[in-house]
Structure 1
Amino acid sequence: MFGTYRTILAIFVVIGHLGYIPFIGTYSVFGFYILSGYLMTRIMKKSYGYSLAGIFRYLTNRFLRIYPIYWISILFSLVLILNVSEESIKTVSPYIYLPINFESILRNISIVFSVHSEPRLTPPSWALTVELFYYILIASGISKNKYFTLLWFLASTLYTSYLLIGDASFSYRYFTIPAASLPFSLGALLFYIEANPLAKNNHLKITILSILIISNYFISLFFNVSESLGFYINLFLSANIIFTLSHIKTKNKLLKKYDLLIGNLSYPIYLVHYQCGILSLLIFSYLNFEIEKGSTIFVLSSLIICLLLSHLIAIFIENKIEDLRNKVRPPRITS
């Protein structure tokens, strides 16, 4: 039941980026990392295995999941760059402009970005670089068993503690590949934690955890600890939501169907929301109506465009890619 959760996180990222809402997108990205750590460990253990053939299938499927839709998003940006004024584009994102050399072209095609890489035709793609790194690390077996995973988590905790004690900047604790080790290892560890078979009321737990996450967000803002204590409390609460969701089983086929449909919107939303923001400004400009980035009408109109475009991408492109991915997937491992 992760589809709706993923899309909620993606929408929070949109609101954070286009609405100038502090930390809501930041907290959501680390939520994505925890979920990825859990899911990648689960599919390696239950579907692909750690043979060379299994790893090859896994990496091929990750490639098909990440790159085709991403390339469509950068083509969207290129169309905007060639047809929209530089000023209008920079109003929404200063990172969207034509690559000026071979290195920047290669980085934008391959999704291999450093912390300071510019341009990024799809601005939030820096996080995909982080995801790809940990996809490969998990394929290498770092979460192959609970002992490796626990060691990884403890090492990540020590590293994060070292950064906090050393007063490292929040950027260093958020944007870098090593910083993401904690949420990924935490997500992987969730796979090995057994749920209480007598536990009930998972939906009530989700409600309570959601209230706690919202409360932590506002309390952290009030006490100015959003980059420190609040950030890591959110990490813990997000892990609990993912753990609880992983143990919610439903036989309702309609519910499963809609969860899948909603979940399919999450990745396109994440990739094209800046471009949809530019498109929103253009539409209102054409109607002789001025709006500003960060305004409620700008965020809502951009989000509506983004949802519609993401739905089209999911139907006409992602579903076709999913057929190919299904052919790559091996039979489920039962042992």
Structure 2
Amino acid sequence: MTINPRKRIDELDSLRGIAALVVVLYHYTFRFEEKFGFTQITDHFNLPYGHYGVELFFVISGFVIFMSIEKINNPFKFLYKRFIRLYPTFWIGMIFSYIFITFFGPENLKVTPTEFLINFTMIPSFFNVSSVDGVYWTLKVEMFFYFIIFFDILFSVKKKYQIVGYLYIFLGILSFTLLRPTNYFFYGSLFLIGINFYKIWKDNASIHNHIQILLCLALTLFYSNFEFFYVTLTLLAIFYLLVYNKLFFLKIRPLLFLGNISYSLYLVHQNFGHTIQIELIHAGLENYILLLTIPLILSIIIASMITYFLEKPIISYLNTKHPWRFISIKK
């Protein structure tokens, strides 16, 4: 049976939109109170578990990466494609956030000019430097995953992903037995889950894909609480529905739109939105709905402008360049 012959999955874009929205609402409710002490919103509406939208992003990343590298045999082409997808938009969002916070933001959100320059690497924590915006931590996880895929392509083990997957799971069991479990290993298992779901969707799956998905779920039991287990179980349910074409009801324009601007929205929403919220409260606004919707709408406008007027044209232009051609790969 062919599960899904389509080349593009609209429902996946909708899931991106949902993930972005719940992360934004988490930051504008629970995280806002946690960072600044204001309870005007959380007294009425709170989303303390909205940060798990990031975990949904990681599973989606694992899924789409294997979709994108099917016809890529040059690892440097892969790195270039990932570079133009991540860095130009990141730089634009970071510059916007830095300028806005420097002039209008609270002191505890500001960074120095030196820290700002180091942020251009996308991995300021490696240099023990504060991020322009705290949400950038997830990009470090993404980059680490991309480098694993780079070496998979470089050493021609892409087609042996199942072996690599089992090795990762074995190392997880070993490390959890000997060491304290870390969240970063959990994030890696989410990428592996996404890869296996892609193979199921492509209809070239084996029983090993389902086994690895369930083993990744079992790994979460090594943690001190069951939150990761329930989150992963929820993600598995969502993606099993996805690959068997049961999420068609998600193909609605608002979610597809949010999915389209999700990267830019993720990059600019937090510190920008917090600053707007603080200024509105200082101006005497107490309506929690407006304290949520005003920064949300403004963030969506900014993200839309970045996506359609900068991100897409820049990526379209850079896609016409092929610098990897000058790097030969001898096998």
Aligned equivalent of 1:124: 135
Aligned equivalent of 1:320: 313
Q: 2: distance between equivalents of 1:118 and 1:184?
A: 27
Q: Is contact 1:61-1:328 (8 Å) kept?
A: no
Aligned equivalent of 1:81: 101
Q: 2: distance between equivalents of 1:261 and 1:129?
A: 26
1:245 alignment partner, one of 239, 242, 245: 242
1:187 alignment partner, one of 182, 194, 219: 194
**Counterparts of residues 270-281 of structure 1 (less than 5 Å):** 270-281=266-277
Q: 2: distance between equivalents of 1:15 and 1:67?
A: 25
Greater alpha carbon shift after TM alignment, 108-117 vs 31-40: 108-117
Q: 2: distance between equivalents of 1:144 and 1:235?
A: 30
Aligned equivalent of 1:22: 48
Aligned equivalent of 1:219: none
Q: 2: distance between equivalents of 1:113 and 1:239?
A: 32
Aligned equivalent of 1:68: 88
Aligned equivalent of 2:211: none
Tell me, yes or no, if structure 1 residue 136 matches structure 2 residue 147.
yes
Q: 1: distance between equivalents of 2:50 and 2:245?
A: 26
Give deviations 1:177-201, integer Å, cap 9, x for gaps. x44221112212223336779xxxx
Give deviations 1:159-178, integer Å, cap 9, x for gaps. 44456556836xx31xx4x4
Shift of 1:325: 5.0
SS in 2 for 1:304: helix
- Cα 1:152–1:315 change in 2 (3 A) is same
What letter corresponds to residue 62 of structure 1 in structure 2? Answer: R
Shift of 1:320: 0.9
TM-score by length of 2: 0.69
Shift of 1:13: 0.9
SS in 2 for 1:310: helix
Identity of aligned residues (%): 22
Q: 2: distance between equivalents of 1:281 and 1:110?
A: 29
Q: 2: distance between equivalents of 1:228 and 1:58?
A: 37
Q: Is contact 2:104-2:275 (8 Å) kept?
A: no
Unpaired segments ≥5 residues, structure 2:
1-9, 31-46, 205-221, 323-331
Q: 2: distance between equivalents of 1:10 and 1:188?
A: 21
Tell me, yes or no, if structure 1 residue 97 matches structure 2 residue 110.
yes
Q: 2: distance between equivalents of 1:314 and 1:325?
A: 15
Give deviations 1:196-245, integer Å, cap 9, x for gaps. 79xxxxxxxxxxxxxxxxxxxxxxxxxxx997323133224314423543
2:302 alignment partner, one of 289, 309, 314: 309
Tell me, yes or no, if structure 1 residue 229 matches structure 2 residue 226.
yes
Q: Is contact 2:261-2:303 (8 Å) kept?
A: yes
Q: 1: distance between equivalents of 2:286 and 2:195?
A: 43
Q: 2: distance between equivalents of 1:120 and 1:191?
A: 33
Q: Is contact 1:34-1:187 (8 Å) kept?
A: yes
Shift of 1:131: 0.4
What letter corresponds to residue 228 of structure 1 in structure 2? Answer: N
Q: Is contact 1:107-1:113 (8 Å) kept?
A: yes
